[in-house]
Chains A and B, each alone.
Chain A
Amino acid sequence: MGSARATWLGRDVISILDFSRDMLEELFLVADEMDRFLRSGRVPRLLEGKLVALAFFEPSTRTRLSFDTAAKRLGAETIGFSGEEGTSIAKGENLADTVRMLDSYADAIVIRHKYEGSALYAAEVAEHPVINAGDGKQHHPTQAMLDLYTVRQLFGSVDGLVYGVLGDLRYGRAATSFILGLTLFRPKKLYLISPPLLRAREEVLEVLRQRGIVFEEAGSLEEVIGGLDVLYVTRIQRERFPDPSEYEKVKGSYRVTRRLLEEHAKPELRVMHPLPRVDEISFDVDETKYAAYFIQARNGVPVRMALLALVLGGWEK
């Protein structure tokens, strides 16, 4: 395990596929520790004296707050900007120069940007580790880490389960990263459930084929729900659509309800969602045993604490 730990130190976190299963297992063990610290109310200040830059060129409240909380819980300080402010900081300045500036202040940069490939590009420019908090429709690796961690917590293992990923598999980065993350494990089967316009991109299907994942594309949830252990639901994000009329065609095209689950799902099925939701999971699911999305949301902080401690080196002291 020492060697797995050593490889986290100073690493960029761009895509979930940059990591091996062993590295993720290591991360999960550290996240368990962090969770224990949080529950006991005594968190060691492992990152005292470190400064983390939160560069959110695109608005996000949840992910940013979760990174901010994770850093501060461990004693680090944070600087940064988000949304409109990010846009105005970048006004007249390109991404490379903004990243260079932050790199000269901080020990790590967490970046969210609407262009695909921006995090990798930032990592090429910066000397300090860069953590991708979402680049366009492409990757959201820390979301995938906490999603996989949640599955492991709920079922004891990520392996051997039947997964359904429902929603916008084309433009949705959380869904994409979750699908890619599953390829590091041994799922029994993976159903990709989406309207035809929102099918997973070719480069994602290619990874599934190369890594020998048994998968099937399906057009409707009703056809496959009976066989699922995990149903991962995502929302359709209007802002990712290049063409607004395409969005109009698919919005509201699927909805998970309590009735659907009680009539068709296995009792062990767990429903996940990266949140926020619009109307793709009805509120009456919340208090059922199927709902796992609040557990998932809570796991964001310990998993990101573990990540920061491993990447910034606090964990090794």
Chain B
Amino acid sequence: MSPGEALLVRKIRDGTVIDHIPAGRALVVLRILGITGREGLRVAVVMNVESRRLGRKDIVKIENRHLRPEEVNKIALVAPTATINIVRDYEVVEKKRVELPSIVEGILKCTNPTCITRKPREPVKPRFRVLSRRPLRLQCMYCGTIVSEDDVVKQLIGG
């Protein structure tokens, strides 16, 4: 983090810093994590700051909250450039990049209403092949339907 950013938000003691979020996606990331502000967690959101890697980026800092693996997988869908820093006692103890797998399983619903994965009471997990990462394009492995980034964002923040 540059000194300029440090001025914007002070360091957190314990929690998670999600850095390198594509500019404008910070609020989507918060929605995915189900953070509304009413949880009482201390949350800082920094948007559209300079980034050497991305040009512009967003940052989200959440005190006293760690991420579950499925949350990390969802973030990978909408913020594939994100890095996740785990902070303890003001120190970053772990830093990892989110990773979008080549097959996305179980997170998203197929957008085709007559896909077998949408049929009630079938023990089948939706599975998508990643066709492209930026912009995100996924293809249902059952019905072949192509799901766009907009569909994915809508689903993740709607549900």
Contact = CB atoms under 8 A, between A and B. Distances in A.
Nearest to B113: A242
Contact of B115 (A96, A117, A203): A117
A138 B117 CA distance: 14
Nearest to A171: B114
Interface in B115-159: 115-119, 121-124, 139-146
Nearest to B110: A117
B153 to A, nearest CB: 19
B143 A116 contact: yes
A117 B143 contact: yes
A202 interface: yes
B51 interface: no
B119 A95 contact: yes
Contacts of A137: 114
Given A94-B121, A96-B122, A96-B124, A121 B146 contact: no
B146 A114 contact: no
A121 B139 contact: no
A37 interface: no
A135 B142 CA distance: 10
Contacts of B36: none
Nearest to A124: B124
B139 A116 contact: no
B146 A203 contact: yes
A138 B119 contact: no
A265 to B, nearest CB: 33
B122 A95 contact: yes
B112 A94 contact: no
Contacts of A138: 143-144
Interface in A181-239: 201-203, 206
B38 to A, nearest CB: 38
Contacts of A202: 146
A120 interface: yes
B121 A136 contact: no
Interface string B34-75: 000000000000000000000000000000000000000000
Contact of A96 (B112, B123, B139): B123
Contacts of B145: 116, 201, 203
Interface string A109-130: 0000111111011001000000
Contacts of A94: 119, 121-123
A116 B144 contact: yes
A124 B122 CA distance: 13
Nearest to B142: A117
A117 B122 contact: no
A95 B144 CA distance: 20
Contacts of B146: 202-203, 206
Interface in A89-118: 94-96, 113-118
Contact of A116 (B121, B122, B142): B142
Nearest to B124: A121
Nearest to A176: B144
Nearest to A206: B146
Contacts of A115: 114-116, 118-119
Given A114-B114, A116-B116, 15 more contacts: A94-B119, A96-B124, A115-B116, A115-B118, A116-B114, A117-B116, A117-B141, A117-B142, A118-B116, A120-B141, A121-B124, A136-B143, A201-B145, A202-B146, A242-B114
8 contacts: A96-B122, A115-B119, A116-B145, A117-B141, A120-B116, A121-B122, A124-B124, A203-B146
Interface of A: 94-96, 113-118, 120-121, 124, 135-138, 201-203, 206, 242
